[in-house]
Structure 1
């Protein structure tokens, strides 16, 4: 049975894939500060060094054999250049000096996948499986497009793109927004574009929606009425799911938080 366990206090998880241990993160959005400048005219200090050090620290802390990014390694849509490319080059070199790196291609990653093809193992937008050929196979996709229906053959499916967050209120009206995990049993029919239920032996897989690694990238407030989900299969593919904070606090059904 495949196991994917969050790292306490971090927007990252570890998957044991038989002979390999993988660290999984989603939505790094390297270069986001440059993007905020040209998209919105907002000037903020770069956290490029902090993001790189956090990733490398997590690789060491978890004793990972591989880093898997579930899409949107980069922030710019298209070929990276300037400061964004420089950040990516430094980040990818720092990681691959330690372990191999797999990128699941997201909607921001077409230019990255091409520019760094010699440095990364790339899984296409429809997703794929890690640990293939073992009992520990885990399926991965980014979430911006309909995935390969064959992913439901895995025990666990990991996805990004949504950047799930919860809005929490206290008794006196104060509120805060925190990144969250969503975990629940997948509805296989809602996971496919045709609505046909893919063939699978046994119970449906678990779907895990990862929080964004980049805390500046915003997200979907999953417990607020009227919020539109980004992934084409959400929320229908998760008819029942629990939300968890990064520290492991279980909030229960995300719709009732």
Structure 2
């Protein structure tokens, strides 16, 4: 059965963020904020970097204002260290969560770095579990189902196998990978840039163990959107470099023909052939 109407998930040009039209609610989506990354790198590797906590917080708040968003959704890894947040990292998180929630509600899709965050800020955040979930735009309590007004948007982090119910969405948005592309010029120079990956999702590869012969596969499967990391210091997966392993258990198989896009909107084509 074909989907009645596609969901609108549009990247914000020049930013690692997108806006999702949920019908009665407009959500700003970002992935992999990795608050406290400087503290983590100092602890893990002895690397000293200038602190960009204020800059990250101000960028998020500015994007909320610029996009006229009703909600912020973080697609996992709001924090950097996997343990419960403490010290400078917790201070950054407290300031960030307070600044955002003074403006709009905030939803955290639990990532592999977020178990302690979800618990510590349970009173301030709406939390979606690691298997992911569907965003519902009926925020004002209307009786009309969100699906009848606009397409459904599913969200997950991507570090574990997703809930098969996400296949009912029109668009599936995920983080975790921090996709990047390495671009070479005519004289042999190269640079690495953050990128979006987008394409039709293979439902059978998206579900742990496959759907099997009795699996209910839609004739019009969802689009999969892999978000670039919001935090440019958090590293990433080089999507177009041979031998680079993806982090999600269902990638790259669940994205058999995905295109890569730069933050400025430049379409690079199939990420496997860049």
Whether the 8 Å contact between 1:146 and 1:192 is mirrored in structure 2 is yes
Correspondence for 2:62:
57
Do residues 213 (structure 1) and 230 (structure 2) align?
Answer: yes
- Once the two structures are superposed, residues 201-256 of structure 1 have per-residue CA deviations (whole angstroms, 9 ceiling, x without a partner) of 44010000000000000000000000000000000000001000000000000011
Deviation at residue 200 of structure 1 after TM alignment: 4.6
Number of residues paired by the alignment? 257
Task: Specify the SS of the correspondent of 1:80.
Answer: coil
2:255 to 238, 245, 250: 238
Task: Specify the SS of the correspondent of 2:208.
Answer: coil
Distance 1:137 1:81 in 2: 36
Correspondence for 2:271:
254
1:190-229 paired onto structure 2 within 5 Å? 190-196=205-211, 198-229=215-246
The gaps in structure 1 that reach 5 residues or longer are none
Distance 2:82 2:19 in 1: 28
Do residues 176 (structure 1) and 176 (structure 2) align?
Answer: no
Distance 2:172 2:220 in 1: 13
Correspondence for 2:3:
none
Report the TM-score, using the length of structure 1 for normalisation: 0.98
Runs ≥4 residues deviating over 4 A: none
CA RMSD of aligned residues (A): 0.9
Whether the 8 Å contact between 1:153 and 1:200 is mirrored in structure 2 is no
Distance 1:70 1:102 in 2: 9
Task: Specify the SS of the correspondent of 2:146.
Answer: coil
Deviation at residue 199 of structure 1 after TM alignment: 2.2
Correspondence for 2:37:
32
- Once the two structures are superposed, residues 115-142 of structure 1 have per-residue CA deviations (whole angstroms, 9 ceiling, x without a partner) of 0000000000000000264123200000
Deviation at residue 152 of structure 1 after TM alignment: 0.6
Do residues 129 (structure 1) and 100 (structure 2) align?
Answer: no
1:100 to 95, 105, 108: 105
Correspondence for 1:67:
72
Correspondence for 1:120:
125
Correspondence for 1:156:
171
